[in-house]
């Protein structure tokens, strides 16, 4: 079983590495001006939901890596919200509600929640497409998106090995989004270069 879990731990570590630079920057600055609170709350919700799912499925890699990601995301929420009492309340409430839902809802509803949280992270595909049309430069890092894609590949391998179709589906969605964003960003960069020439 440990040999299978290693795929999950690698996928989780790559996923943490994807979000860590932004989290460290916000923590170093001591504020979150210009950073979307909603985006980081959503990421905290996603990490919490997958940690709860990992707990429910007895998956050490899902539980541990998503708890680590949740702590990182919570530290950014903490930095964004100036009021520490409000930050603590928001984080505790979100974690309790999302984990409670994943652990207590019937399997079909919990699966729908997990899938919807994955789709909630996909607006960047549209934004990258829109940036091509208007010729706007993007701040999206193709390298970071590639790291996230590699994370998805390791999670898919792990999910196939443990026969978890929900985990395969959710990571296939994430991987598809990442590939689409990478392709759109490369096309956009090339298009801007041709227009500038």
Distance CA 18, CA 43 (A): 12
| Predicted confidence (pLDDT) at residue 183 exceeds the cutoff of 90 | yes
Of residues 138 and 180, more confidence is placed in: 180
pLDDT of res. 78: 86
Question: 195 to each of 141, 142, 190, 191, how far by Cα in Å?
Answer: 21, 21, 9, 6
- Segment 29-58, tens digit of pLDDT: 766 665 678 878 888 999 999 999 999 999
| Predicted confidence (pLDDT) at residue 131 exceeds the cutoff of 60 | yes
175 pLDDT tier (thresholds 50, 70, 90) = very high
pLDDT of res. 159: 97
Distance CA 160, CA 8 (A): 11
Of residues 26 and 156, more confidence is placed in: 156
On average, the pLDDT of the chain sits at: 88
Give the three-class secondary structure for 57.
Answer: coil
3-state helix, strand, coil in the chain (%, to 5): 85, 0, 15
pTM for the structure as a whole: 0.84
Contact assessment for residue 142 and residue 185, using Cβ atoms and an 8 Å cutoff = yes
166 pLDDT tier (thresholds 50, 70, 90) = very high
Minimal CA–CA distance to 140: which of 76, 172, 173, 187?
A: 187
């Amino acid at each position: 079983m440990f040999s299978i879990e290693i795929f999950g731990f690698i996928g989780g570590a790559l996923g943490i590495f994807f979000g860590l630079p932004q989290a460290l920057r916000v923590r170093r600055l001591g504020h979150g001006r210009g950073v979307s609170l909603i985006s980081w709350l959503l990421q905290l919700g996603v990490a919490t939901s997958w940690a709860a799912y990992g707990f429910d499925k007895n998956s050490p890699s899902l539980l541990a890596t998503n708890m680590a990601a949740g702590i990182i995301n919570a530290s950014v929420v903490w930095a964004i919200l100036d009021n520490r009492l409000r930050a603590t309340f928001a984080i505790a409430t979100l974690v309790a509600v999302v984990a409670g839902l994943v652990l207590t809802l019937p399997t079909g509803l919990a699966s729908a929640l997990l899938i919807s949280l994955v789709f909630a992270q996909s607006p960047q595909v549209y934004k990258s497409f829109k940036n091509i049309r208007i010729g706007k430069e993007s701040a999206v890092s193709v390298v970071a998106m590639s790291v996230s894609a590699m994370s998805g590949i390791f999670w898919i391998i792990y999910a196939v090995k443990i026969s978890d179709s929900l985990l395969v589906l959710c990571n296939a969605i994430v991987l598809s989004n990442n590939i689409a964003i990478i392709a759109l960003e490369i096309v956009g960069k090339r298009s801007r270069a041709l227009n500038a020439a």
